[in-house]
Amino acid sequence: MSLYDRDYAQDSQSIENSLEQSSELSTFIKDTYKLIAASLIAAVAGAFVGMNAGIPRSPMLSILFLVVELIMLFGMSFADKKGMRGLALGLLFAFTFVTGLFLGPVLSMYVGAGAGHVVTQAFVMTAVAFGGLTLYAINAKADFRSWSKPLFFVLLGVIVAGLLNLFLFRSTMLSLGISSVSAILFSMYILFDTQNIIKGRYDSPIMAAVGMYLNILNLFVSLLNILGILNRD
């Protein structure tokens, strides 16, 4: 009999709350992926400008771009937390444009060397990987939250190894190894962040979008470097 002994008013309120939460989550997911798409468009625009602007490639310029990007990221996070959505959005698109601008000379180098197919291959592989990993994360029953700290420590190791190789070792084989680890790392980050997005674990779609954008960008750069090294004569 307990099956029929229900508080219908309470059940109705519970259903309404559930539907409201579901609607909010759906809106959050849609907003996040719209911002990811817009960020990628801004990055492509930046890359196009960078390819034609004759920006020189140098370690010091790389550090300068990195500092500017970090300032934008911190500014974006601060503005988002303070509810300044317009400023946060502006910084998001400025950030993605600048990352594309910095990538432009690298792409230009490949195209100028007759290796434009390497760029195309890296782009296609990134798109396929992103689509496949997203579908897997959506359907996965496992909880990826425990990956947070291990992924972060591996990321720190990749950054340190990359800086050492840039300024000290300048080893092609080490670069290949770092890029291989990086490609796996950011593939795992796509899984991790996709699940966080669809579960509504981010505070805002802006920070969720920039996180996923960086995963996609770094996966593309890693694959580009791997393919570039493997296609050298």
- pLDDT digit string, tens, across residues 145-157: 999 999 999 999 9
Q: How far apart are CA 102 and CA 65, in angstroms?
A: 7
pLDDT in tens, 190-212: 999 999 999 999 989 999 999 99
Q: Is residue 2 part of a domain?
A: no
Q: Is residue 1 part of a domain?
A: no
pTM of the predicted model as reported, rounded to 2 decimal places: 0.91
Q: How far apart are CA 208 and CA 205, in angstroms?
A: 5
Looking at the structure of the chain, the number of domains it has is 1
Q: Hey, what's the torsion of the CAs at 173, 174, 178, 181, to 10 degrees?
A: 60
Q: Crossing angle, helix 85-112 and helix 59-81, to 10 degrees?
A: 160
Q: Is residue 22 part of a domain?
A: yes
Is there a contact between 103 and 51 (Cβ–Cβ < 8 Å)?
A: no
Q: Is residue 21 part of a domain?
A: yes
Residue 16: per-residue pLDDT: 46
Q: Hey, what's the torsion of the CAs at 91, 94, 99, 104, to 10 degrees?
A: 180
Q: Is residue 134 part of a domain?
A: yes
Q: How far apart are CA 98 and CA 37, in angstroms?
A: 16
Domain of residue 169: give its range.
8-230
Q: Is residue 168 part of a domain?
A: yes
CA nearest neighbour of 109 among 165, 54, 188, 166: 54
Residue 3: per-residue pLDDT: 37
CB < 8 Å & 24+ apart, contacts of 73-77? 73/210, 76/206, 76/207, 76/210, 77/207
- Residue whose pair of structure tokens reads 């300068």 in the numeric block: 64
Q: How far apart are CA 37 and CA 23, in angstroms?
A: 21
CA nearest neighbour of 91 among 78, 73, 103, 104: 73
Q: How far apart are CA 51 and CA 126, in angstroms?
A: 20
H helices of 113-143, in order, are 116-139
- Residues in the chain predicted with pLDDT less than 70, given as ranges, are 1-20, 233
Residue 8: per-residue pLDDT: 34
Residue 173: per-residue pLDDT: 96
- Residue whose pair of structure tokens reads 């503005």 in the numeric block: 79
Tokens of 104: 């432009």
Q: How far apart are CA 199 and CA 223, in angstroms?
A: 29
Q: Is residue 166 part of a domain?
A: yes
Is there a contact between 230 and 173 (Cβ–Cβ < 8 Å)?
A: no
Q: Is residue 199 part of a domain?
A: yes
